[in-house]
Structure formats: C-alpha cells, structure tokens
C-alpha cells in the first residue's frame, strides 16, 4: 500500500520535545486499554515522549515507578484485554492540595505538561481543578525549593484532554462512552441465555443492571431484548405503576407469551424518590399474579470480558483525537473532552459537560424528571420514546385513523430484500408495532420481491413479532430477486391487498429494487405510493448511509474470530495470519475490522495496491517480527483484487517471510452473516425502522386525496440513512449520482478516513488528514418544550 509523504502532517503537528502522560481513573471499563494503546502509539508516532501513570491519581501522587515511559511494544497485545492494564484507583489524597502538590512535582520532574485522563466525570473534574491550580502549585514548589524558577517557566502550562471511560454512559455531551457497548453485550448475552430457561418454565425474570444514577444500560437493553417493563432513575413510573405492570405481564402471558422480562437499573426510584428494588418487584409479581419469578443481579459481570468492536474503534479514534487535541492546545485552550456525536469525533469543553451531567442529578433530586431526560441528550430521549412506543400497545379505541381511507386504516407492507443481516428482525418488529400504533394495518411479505409476486403476503399482528429482536437472519425470509421482470404480478398483488405504502429493509438489491419500482410508476399507478428503504447489509455498502443494520454484528464476528486466531499462536513461533472478509467490493469490514482487531494491513478494492505494496508490507512485518511482535494479522476484502487472491497473498507472505515467520490463512465466510444481532444492531434497527414508519404515516396523510393514496413525487421514495450526526431521508433518485453501480458501492465512503489510523497504530509512516478531526464546540442542550412549541 502506498505510503504518502507525511511532511505536511509533521510541519503542522509535531510532538517533538513534548511529554504526554496517560492515566485511567475511577471505575474500569472495557476499551480503556484500546484508548491507552492509541494514545501511546499516536504520541510516539508524532515524536512525543509518552508516559504511563499506573494506578490513576494515586500513582501520580506517589510517583516513583508508578510513572514510567511507554514504548511502542509496551501496548502490544492489549487491544482485546478488558479492564485497564495500567491500573485504576480512587485517590483521597489527590482531593487535597497537598496531594496535588506532590503530583505536580512528580510531573515536572519528568517534564510532563500534557495529560490524557480516561475516566468518569469525577476523574475529569479533578483533572480540571489540577489544571486551574497548576501555576499556583508550581509557585509553591519553587518556594519550597523543590524546583527552580527555570523549570517553573518551562512547564508553566498544563494541558488536559479527557476521554470518558464509563459503562453507565452517564456523561453528557457524548452519544457513547468507552465501555458502554461492551457492557450492553454482557447484559444481552445474559438476557438471551435467561430467555431460553424462562421460556421452558414459563417464568418471570427480574434483572438488575448497573446504573446508580443513569438508566442508559437498563433502557437500551430493554429496547434490545423487548423487555416487558423497565425501571430507570430518570423517569420513575407514575403512581399506580404496580397495577399497570401486573396487568401488562398478565396480558402478555394470556397472549401465549411464555416468559416475562423486567429490567431494573440499580438506581431505579419511584415518583417519591424511594428506591425500587428487584426483591420488591419479585414480591409484587408473586403476590399479585402468582407467577414463578426469579431475580438475577448482573453486578460486575457487566464490567468484565473483552471489549466489543465498537468500543475498540471508539477508543482508538478517541485516543488519536486526544493526542491531536493536546498537540494543538495553547495556554488559552480550555480543558476539553473528546466525544462522539453520530459517527463524528467532537471536542467539547470539559467543564460544560461536567456541569450538564451534574444538572441531570439536580433535576432528578428536584423531581424534574422530564428535564433530566432532556438533559441526558437526544439519544437517550429517542431511546425512551421508542421503548414506550414498542413495549405498550394502545387499546384499539386510542389508535389514530384520521385521514385513512373509508374511515379504516392504511395498509402498509414490510419486506426484507437481499442477503440476510443480523438486526433485520428487530427492524421488522419495530416497523410492525409502530405501524399498528399509528393506526395502520401491517402486512408481511415473505421472501422479498420473489414472495411479493407469488402472493406470499399476510397481515401481521402486534403479538406475531414478540421475541424477534434477538433472532438472527431474516424470519420473513429474504431473496436477492429484483422486481423488474415481475412488475405485472407485483402490481396485481399491491392491488389485491390494497397496499398503500412499502417499507423495504435490505441491502443493495433493496436499493436497486426501489429504483425499479420508481421507474415503473409511469406504467403502474399501484407503485405511486410512499416507499422507504432502511439499509440492512453486513457489507455496509449502501449510498446515503454511513451505517447499515448488520454491519456491527459482522464486525464483532470478525473481531472475535481474529482474537481467537491470534491466541491460537500464543506460545508458538512467530506467525502471520491472512484472513479474508466479506463485503463484495466494499472494504468496510476489512478496514474497520482491521482497526478493531489490531491488523498490520488490510487490502481493499477502494485503495488500489500492487506487488510493490505487498512486498513493502512483508518487509515491514518481517522487521517488526525480528524486534518485538510474535503474531501478525493481515485482512483481505474478498474482491479487493482479482489477481492478488487470498491464496496468492498467503503464498507470497509464506515465501518472503521464510525463516522469520510462518503463515496461516482463514476465510471467514458466512459466519459474518450469522449469529444473534449485537445490541447496537438491535437498537439501531429498532430506532431507524420506527422513524421510517413515522415518515410513512406522514406521507400517507399528505398523499391521500379523493379516496385514494397517490404519491409520485421524487421525495415520496426515500432511503433513510445515518449521515454523520443524524438520520436523514434522501430521495432515492438523488442518490444515483453518489453510486458506483458496477461495483455496488458509494463513490465516497466516510470510513476511508479511518484507514490511516490503522496504519499509524501498526507502525507505518503515513499521512493523516487532520482536516476532519474534531473542533472545539459547545455542548448543545435539548430545547425545552416551550421553545419547541414556539418554533
């Protein structure tokens, strides 16, 4: 792979002569090691000295061997390790000025004036106080004769950048904190396992998850597993909730549902701020309903295990961004925290985020619970609203039917098209339940467009989709068949079933299929209805969307397999693994999977390579093998090059590495499409589908005229995709210009900007485009209801 000139990068952002220290503080979280690794390697890459501070602030106060210079090899083989290998401890001494004075002395002795702190709001608040006191602390050290005036002048400014490591996701200003996704993986693994035993015995399970002050884990896991009831501190249940919950459980059991799941955050409270415990709920269910009920408290299981692919990528991106922020910091730059908004890295003033986080707790203490939800941010509020919409069915008398034909409901069809992707079933469940809540009659089409023209269409009810969120593949069935040859028959089926709108969940074939239906509108009025596509494919190759349902599950499958493959070589001689991933011509899985697994190279179609690049990569790995690492990892996208096949690359590496390392190859194949969907895919599929159905409802009302639905404008057939920071509806016809139809990929792909990160972290010299790095922004607060109404 070509290695572009990197002069521009070093001219603008050189770390020469600077010293950066990294520490982890407070509770541990999966992904902290990935963040530490990224800080160390990016720091060394730009020429800075990087130090570990072991045992958090305690190590900073104690000094000595707790503060050690880090080498490139120091962070090898830690990407997949949970917790934090440099240790974390809560430090009472650092809370005193005497403790901070000792810490300042230890840093100045080593010339450290750049601090990267990975922890929660308490740790970050402490870091900001340390920064504010820095000049005063140095003056005191000079007065005590511990440092001279020259040292005080040289190290006069302390720069702080924070990364939030917390499984609770309780820090305002970021969509996800490091460790949250991995904690959700642990919770969902347990819930999925419990569901099988609960179903066998017709039991009710009450699960307690972490979240003393924040209900994010409880809420998202409830959304991801379709729990019957959830209790969180930000939104206590209304008075009389006990009877409502028991009624809901009873109705579900009467509807032939063999199990009930209730999820409780450990900090759950009622409207009087009194704790709601799992034992209270168990006693209530047994006393009121007589159901066989069990309690499971997950505890520290949620903190353990290997980090998920999402957390590794998030932490790696944040670590690199933190180093860039430190290099760009000036005396006037406020302490900032590196955050995630959508899929964009952003920098926010640390104390603005801390203050808003504290405001949430204040709102809860004052029983202003709606304010607390709003202050948590849009993501939290959307999760809560979506859960309410899907978990509790409205009585028929409350369902809307205004504007529907003949006073009845609209008929909306939902279908899967293309290859199966984990999360499709969660998306279908969400669409069906939101559609019914909106007053529509929902129809399921089996086997994609092939089933459509064959008439495999039937009405689907609320209870029919119960338990679908955790199911992999496509329960409706999905085929790659395109509709062009069967327009007559499909139009006839639309007429027979009076289909007024169409929701298509699928991959590139779904995208092409919608285009073909659009092209046939001039011939068939039946296709003049609102249509929306939701992207679902492991390849993540749909124009108009940065992410697709199923891609995260596939990434986790790749990452887990790479971890196992690398572990298989532990204790043996030096070995390189060549691994082939899926994706067609799209290199997303190979590139982002490579970043998550710590690959040395990833070959993709979008970045052409030749024999010289292959030779350069082999030489690079050979050099690394001689000096440090024992295992190498090379990923190859299945269609990256028709001549440089997986076999060819395997044979080349085997021959050129002879005497230094041996090689093994592995084709991952369809295991990337299988398995239970990840929490991210369940949640993403649920929310994006709910939004798609709400758009359909709006379009149906707009296009209903003179007794029928007629929609033939360009914006009546859209793709709903994630674009940078938001979900956006885009007319399918407008996406034509953005599409490479020959290779079935978008012409521009955001994740290509992540490839230099993988190369830098693998010790390649490369250019890194800093134009897309996060800029310092202010925290955006959700608007109040009054302001929303005014707008």
Cα angle 685, 375, 188 (rounded to 5 degrees) comes to: 35
Pick the closest to residue 350 from 570, 195, 120 (CA basis): 120
**How does strand 229-231 pair with strand 204-209?**
unpaired
For 693, the token pair is: 């159905």
Catalytic hit among 168, 311, 546, 681: 168
- Residue 650 CA to residue 656 CA, distance in Å, equals 10
Pick the closest to residue 36 from 15, 49, 48, 52 (CA basis): 52
DSSP state of 484: G
Cα angle 101, 110, 6 (rounded to 5 degrees) comes to: 130
In this structure, what are the phi and psi dihedrals at residue 555, rounded to the nearest 5 degrees?
-60, -40
3 state SS of 368: coil
In this structure, what are the phi and psi dihedrals at residue 629, rounded to the nearest 5 degrees?
-70, 155
Place of tokens 């810490």: 103
Per-position DSSP letters for 156-177, written without gaps between them: ---EEEEEEB-TT---TT-S--
Place of tokens 């971890």: 563
168 is catalytic: yes
- Residue 426 CA to residue 688 CA, distance in Å, equals 10
Cα angle 341, 82, 470 (rounded to 5 degrees) comes to: 65
DSSP state of 714: G
- Residue 29 CA to residue 476 CA, distance in Å, equals 38
In this structure, what are the phi and psi dihedrals at residue 361, rounded to the nearest 5 degrees?
-65, -40
- Residue 776 CA to residue 221 CA, distance in Å, equals 32
For 664, the token pair is: 């093994």
For 142, the token pair is: 């000079």
SS3 content of the chain, % helix, strand, coil (to 5): 50, 15, 35
CB 6 within 8 A of CB 309: no
The neighbour count for residue 368, using CB atoms within 10 Å, is 15
Half-sphere exposure at residue 185, Cβ-oriented, CA atoms within 13 angstroms: 23
The neighbour count for residue 560, using CB atoms within 10 Å, is 18
| b/e burial code for range 400-431 (CB count within 10 A of at least 16 → b) | eeeebbeeebbbbbbbbbbbbbbbbbbbbbbb
Pick the closest to residue 553 from 451, 684, 394, 740 (CA basis): 684
Residue 745's beta-bridge partner residues?
740
Per-position DSSP letters for 262-315, written without gaps between them: EEEETT-B-TTS-B--HHHHHHHHHHHH---EEEEE-GGGGG-SPPPHHHHHHH
**How does strand 457-459 pair with strand 441-445?**
antiparallel
- Residue 335 CA to residue 473 CA, distance in Å, equals 46
- Residue 507 CA to residue 514 CA, distance in Å, equals 11
**DSSP H helical segments within 497-550, as ranges?**
508-519
Pick the closest to residue 80 from 623, 556, 742, 450 (CA basis): 556
- Residue 127 CA to residue 110 CA, distance in Å, equals 18
Half-sphere exposure at residue 473, Cβ-oriented, CA atoms within 13 angstroms: 9
Q: Which residues are catalytic?
A: 168
């Amino acid at each position: 792979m070509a290695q572009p000139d990197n002069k521009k990068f070093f001219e603008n952002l050189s770390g020469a002569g600077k010293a950066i220290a990294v520490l982890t503080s407070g509770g541990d979280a999966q992904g902290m090691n990935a963040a530490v690794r990224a800080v160390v390697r990016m720091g060394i890459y730009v020429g800075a000295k990087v130090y570990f501070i072991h045992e958090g602030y305690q190590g900073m106060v104690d000094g000595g061997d707790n503060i050690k210079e880090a080498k490139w090899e120091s962070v090898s083989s830690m990407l997949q390790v949970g917790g934090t290998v440099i240790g974390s401890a809560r430090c009472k001494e650092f809370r005193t000025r005497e403790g901070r004075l000792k810490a300042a002395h230890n840093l100045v002795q080593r010339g450290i004036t750049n601090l990267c702190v990975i922890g929660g709001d308490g740790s970050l608040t402490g870091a900001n106080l340390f920064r504010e006191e820095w000049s005063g602390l140095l003056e005191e050290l000079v007065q005590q004769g511990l440092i001279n005036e020259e040292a005080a002048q040289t190290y006069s400014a302390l720069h702080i950048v924070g990364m939030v490591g917390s499984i609770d996701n309780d820090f305002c200003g970021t969509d996800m904190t490091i460790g949250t996704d991995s904690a959700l993986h642990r919770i969902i693994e347990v819930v999925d396992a419990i569901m099988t035993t609960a179903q066998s015995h017709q039991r009710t399970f009450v699960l307690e998850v972490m979240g003393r002050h924040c209900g994010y884990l409880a809420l998202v896991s409830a959304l991801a597993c379709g729990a019957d009831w959830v209790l969180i501190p930000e939104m206590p249940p209304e008075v009389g909730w006990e009877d409502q919950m028991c009624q809901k459980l009873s109705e579900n059991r009467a509807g032939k549902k063999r199990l009930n799941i209730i999820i409780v955050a450990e900090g759950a409270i009622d409207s009087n701020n009194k704790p709601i415990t799992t034992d209270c709920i168990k006693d209530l269910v047994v006393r009121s309903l007589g159901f066989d009920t069990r309690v499971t408290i997950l505890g520290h299981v949620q903190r353990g295990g290997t980090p998920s692919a999402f957390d590794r990528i998030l932490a790696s991106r944040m670590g690199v961004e933190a180093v860039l922020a430190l290099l760009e910091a000036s005396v006037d730059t406020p302490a900032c925290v590196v955050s995630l908004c959508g899929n964009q890295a952003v920098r926010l003033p640390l104390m603005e985020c801390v203050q808003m986080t504290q405001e949430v707790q204040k709102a809860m203490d004052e029983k202003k619970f709606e304010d607390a939800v709003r202050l948590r941010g849009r993501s939290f509020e959307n999760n809560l609203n979506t859960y309410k919409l899907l978990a509790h069915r409205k009585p028929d008398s409350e369902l809307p039917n205004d504007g529907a034909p003949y006073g009845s409901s609209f008929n909306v069809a939902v279908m899967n098209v293309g290859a199966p992707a984990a999360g499709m079933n969660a998306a279908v469940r969400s669409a069906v339940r939101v559609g019914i809540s909106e007053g529509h009659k929902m129809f399921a089409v089996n086997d994609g467009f092939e089933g459509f023209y064959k008439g495999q269409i039937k009405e689907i009810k609320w209870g029919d989709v119960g338990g679908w969120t955790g199911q992999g593949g496509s329960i409706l069935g999905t085929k790659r068949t395109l509709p062009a040859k069967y327009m007559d028959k499909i139009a006839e089926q639309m007429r027979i079933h009076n289909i007024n709108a169409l929701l298509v969940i699928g991959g590139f074939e779904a995208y092409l299929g919608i285009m073909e239906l659009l092209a046939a509108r001039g011939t068939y009025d039946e296709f003049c209805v609102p249509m929306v596509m939701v992207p679902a494919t492991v390849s993540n190759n749909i124009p108009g969307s940065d992410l697709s349902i199923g891609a995260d599950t596939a990434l986790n499958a790749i990452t887990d397999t790479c971890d196992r493959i690398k572990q298989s070589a532990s204790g043996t001689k030096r070995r390189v693994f060549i691994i082939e991933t899926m994706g067609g011509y799209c290199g997303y899985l190979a590139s982002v999977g490579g970043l998550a697994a710590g690959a040395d190279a990833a070959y993709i179609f979008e970045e052409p390579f030749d024999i010289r690049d292959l030779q350069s990569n082999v030489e690079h790995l050979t050099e690394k093998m001689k000096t440090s690492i024992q295992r190498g990892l090379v990923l190859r996208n299945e269609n990256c090059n028709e001549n440089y096949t997986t076999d060819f690359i395997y044979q080349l590496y085997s021959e050129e590495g002879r005497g230094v390392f041996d090689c093994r190859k592995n084709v991952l194949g369809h295991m990337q499409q299988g398995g239970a969907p990840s929490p991210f895919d369940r949640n993403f599929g649920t929310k994006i589908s709910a939004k798609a159905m709400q758009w359909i409802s709006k379009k149906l009302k707009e296009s209903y005229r003179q007794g029928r639905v007629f929609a033939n404008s360009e914006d009546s057939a859209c793709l709903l995709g994630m674009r940078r920071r938001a979900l956006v509806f885009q007319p399918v016809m407008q996406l034509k210009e953005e599409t490479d139809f020959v290779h079935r990929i978008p012409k521009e792909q955001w994740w290509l900007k992540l490839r230099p990160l993988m190369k830098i972290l693998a010790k390649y010299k490369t250019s890194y485009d800093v134009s897309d790095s996060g800029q310092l922004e202010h925290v955006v607060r959700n608007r109040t209801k009054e302001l929303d109404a005014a707008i």
